[in-house]
Structure formats: structure tokens, C-alpha cells
Homo-oligomer: A and B are copies of this chain.
Amino acid sequence: MAKLNFDLQHTDTLSRARTGKITTDHGEILTPIFMPVGTVGSVKAVNQQQLTNIVQAQIILGNTYHLYLRPGIQVLEQAGGLHKFNGWQKPILTDSGGYQVFSLAGTRKIKEEGVYFQSHIDGSRHLFSPEKVMDIQRSIGADIIMAFDECPHAGCEYVYARKSMELTHRWLDRCLARLAETEGRYGHTQNLFPIVQGSTFKDLRIASAQYIASKNAAGNAIGGLSVGETEEEMYAFTALSCEYLPADKPRYLMGVGTPWNILEGISLGVDMFDCVMPTRNARNGMLFTTQGVMNMKNKKWANDFSAIDAGFENEISNYYSKAYLRHLFVSGELLAGQLASLHNLSFYLWLVKEARRHIIAGDFTSWKQEMVQRLKIRM
């Protein structure tokens, strides 16, 4: 089947924002887009029908590290890949497991050949090499797969950042070589996105973006941000990375972020985003809304019977009241996590759709400036 195609549709005149259409063997994705994170093949607390019909997700993420450990590659292969296993029929993107294994500080060792680590579940020892990670992603069968990279922490030394970036580049070449000698298992095309690193050093970021761009991949990712640097640095290095990445390929800013981070990212030329924030914060009672941020456990909502968020059309956010959702949180009801996750994800998907609409309409920048202020309000 066909390689991923990106059709760049509109470009904003006052910013770097753009709209496009990604076509994969599992369907189309209109950009800019937010991708809900389904770590082990499940977007937490939300089922696949809800993701389709309520959230209106167009693509979801899976995590190679987590899926490799559970349910394991054998089960995924027997199922016919992750799409068949979890019943999500639209596009899937898998990360490379790089970020996860580097987060296992203390139990992992980085070598030229790859990363040795211990499972967080049973302590068993494993090696993730670029080749191994490509093979695992072949077994999972996502439409977009990520190169194996090292993601250094913000504030690392220049020398460490440079060596790490060079390792990431060598690993990228090994990923590409492995992919070239293997085939997708399930009849659809898998597309590798390489990842720009280089921490918060300008020359390294440029060098990395140039190296990544030279691979002429179907899409490109910006990694190593939202890992402890300031928001200003994040925006600056996102902008810099975008500048050196081809305009005719989708750009994916990994692991970002708040609703306003996403709007700023769009204005800098990013097309794709993912983050656990809408689901994780939802489970903790933090809601992002068209009117600002709400701590749902706050006593002030106890007898506020207005809708969770009436600012956009959504059968959950428009239907249940703040008072009811607050009651569910205070009572420790499982439904709290479900409703809050459905709301936050729906809101994120609505937000990127609105951004797209305003880019097309030509008033993106003024809309964005107003929205960023509004979305940050502590209700």
C-alpha cells in the first residue's frame, strides 16, 4: 500500500501556522492535530467508540516500551497488530521506547549498541537497539513509527548533548537500514519519522534538524523539548527546529503540552502534537476548558449546576454539570476519570480543529492571542 502523504493546504501569513492533510493506509488526518496517548493500547479511561464519536480523535499513540512488555510482541503478532488487538481502526503512531527507557534512571545503561534496561514490572533485563525497536514496531504495526533516539534532560552539558545527538543520528541510520531490509507484517505501509535532538544548544539543534531533514523522511519529529527547559526555550527551539525541517512534510512536536503550548506550537509551524496531560490531569481533577483551567475538586463547584463546558459542542461536556463531576471526584467514583478524560480530550481535539479553521479563515494569530490568554485563566 501507499507511503504516507502530506498535502500542505493553507499557510498563515502572520505566523508559520499551516493546515494540511496526512493520508495513511488507515485513513486521513487533518492537521494541525492532537494525538491522544494510548500507552498500552488504551487511552486511559476512554474506549475506542468514545474516542471516535465523542473525542473525534483521528490518530492515537501507542508506546513501544509498554506494549513490548505487555501484552508482548507475540500476542500483538497473533492478533494481527495493534489495530486489530485494540479495535482502533484509524491511524496509530508508536514512539520508539527511547523516551521511556531513558526515564528509567538508575536501571538503564546507554551503549553504542543500544540501551540496556530493566522492566518496571518484573525487573527483567532487556536491550533496546535501533534494530530491535524497528522489529518491535513492525510487530505492533503502527502507521507512523519513530526512530530510536536518546532524549537528554534539559540542562545537560554541551558535550553530553553533542555526543547524545550524534548517537541519535547514528541510531537513525541503523533504524533506516533495518527498515529497508524488513517489511510491514500486516499489508499496510509504516512510515518512519526521525527525531531532531540537540537539547537547548542552537548549533546542535540546527545540525540535528539539517541531518534529519537530509533523510527525506515522510515526516519529522522534534524531540528533547518539554523536558525541564523554560517555556521560552521550548518555543525558541521548536521554532528553530521547524525552520530547518522541510515545509512539505508534517512536523511533530513530541510530548507537548498545555493547550496554550499547542497553540504556540502551531504558530511556529508544528502540525502534530501528543501529550499525556489531558488524560493524566483529567484523572487528577484538572480540566482544560474554553473558559480556562478548573480544579474540579474545588468546593466552589459543589452547587454550580452549569455544564462542565458549554463553549463547544460535546455530548459529555454539555451534558453533565460541574457540580455532578465535582461530586464524582470527591466521592472517588471511577466515572470521574472517564468524564474528565472525555472532556479534556474532546477539548484538545476541538482546539486544534478551531486552530485549523482560523488558519483557513486567515485570522489565526489574533484568535490565538486571545485564546492563549483565556485558556490560562484559573477559574
Contacts and interface: CB of A to CB of B under 8 A. Distances in A.
A335 to B, nearest CB: 5
A70 B330 contact: yes
Contacts of A66: 331
Interface residues of A, number: 42
Interface centre among A41, A46, A334, A337 (most CB of B within 10 A): A334
Contacts of A334: 44-45, 283, 334, 337-338
Contacts of A34: none
A40 interface: yes
Interface string A318-353: 011101100110110111011100000000000000
Interface string A139-171: 000000000000000000000000000000000
A75 B302 contact: yes
Most buried by B among A43, A87, A324: A324
A46 B78 contact: no
Given A40-B331, A303-B78, A305-B79, A323 B71 contact: yes
A86 interface: yes
A85 interface: yes
Contacts of A319: 48-49, 87
A304 to B, nearest CB: 10
As for how many copies of this chain the complex holds, the number is: 2
B315 A49 contact: yes
Residue from A45, A48, A71 with most neighbouring chain B CB atoms (10 Å): A71
A79 B323 contact: yes
A293 to B, nearest CB: 22
Contact of A327 (B45, B75, B305, B327): B75
Nearest to A45: B334
A316 interface: yes
A339 to B, nearest CB: 6
A119 interface: no
Interface in A299-322: 302-303, 305, 315-316, 319-321
Given A70-B327, A85-B323, A47 B302 contact: no
Contacts of A333: 40, 42, 44
A47 B335 contact: yes
Nearest to A339: B47
A318 to B, nearest CB: 11
A327 B71 contact: yes
A47 B337 contact: no
The 9 closest A-B pairs by CB, nearest first: A45-B334, A71-B327, A42-B335, A40-B331, A42-B333, A78-B303, A70-B331, A44-B334, A75-B303
Given A45-B335, A75-B303, A85-B323, 10 more contacts: A40-B333, A42-B328, A46-B335, A47-B335, A47-B338, A78-B303, A84-B305, A85-B324, A87-B324, A283-B334
